[in-house]
Amino acid sequence: MYIPTPSAQTATIAALSTMDPRNLLAPFHLLSFSTLLGTQLYQTFVVTKICFVSLPRSAFTTLQKRLFPIYFSGQSMLLLLTIVTIPPHGPFTLVANKVAWIPFAIAGVTAALNLFVYGPRTKQLMIERIHQETRDGLQKQATNDVDAAETPSPEMQRLRRSFSRNHAMSIHLNLLSIGAMLWWGWKLASSLNLELK
């Protein structure tokens, strides 16, 4: 059986077409998207759960106030990298495809809100709550009031409510961002051609 070999010209054209920058977007897009979604899922459902169960509350609080600003920044940067590398034309692909931009808009807004609004608020309230616990503890020790040890001060109640509201908002925004990226992942996976060359 005779198998024709490609001519030198055909091989050169094939090599040049693989060097086309548009062909480089797809692998970079898959890597950035996979890193984004993997980071979101791992941080949200593995790291936070293990730390909450394993660490004392003060250590958990210290870790979270340092970890989440990095997580929200990384999430935003990976989201931008994922948008920039959408094949075949980067972000212009989103302009051409009216439905494809929706998960990125959702993820972008939720990530930005967590990075600039709810993440910093939650961190600040966490710190204020720790300081208030210290102040309340010192006041209760000074008065030796047994009943006062049971009830939190009005300021502590206010801080707890405010922290709970902001923390819940941050959690829900993060889940919306994960949901949007899962939506994009489903759309992306359904359009892949899985034939190896």
> Mean pLDDT score of the chain, rounded to an integer?
89
Please say if the pLDDT value at position 125 is more than 90.
Answer: yes
Higher pLDDT, residue 17 or 86 = 86
Question: Mean pLDDT across the stretch 14-30?
Answer: 75
pTM equals 0.84
Q: Where are the alpha helices (DSSP H) in the chain?
A: 8-18, 21-42, 48-54, 57-84, 92-96, 101-113, 119-143, 146-150, 154-190
Q: Count how many residues are written for the chain.
A: 197
Paired tokens of 102: 């929706």
pLDDT per residue as tens digits for the range 62-89: 999 999 999 999 999 999 999 999 998 9
pLDDT per residue as tens digits for the range 31-62: 999 999 999 999 999 999 999 999 999 999 99
pLDDT per residue as tens digits for the range 162-192: 999 999 999 999 999 999 999 999 999 998 8
CA 51 distance to own-chain centroid: 18
Paired tokens of 84: 């920039």
Question: Mean pLDDT across the stretch 15-22?
Answer: 60
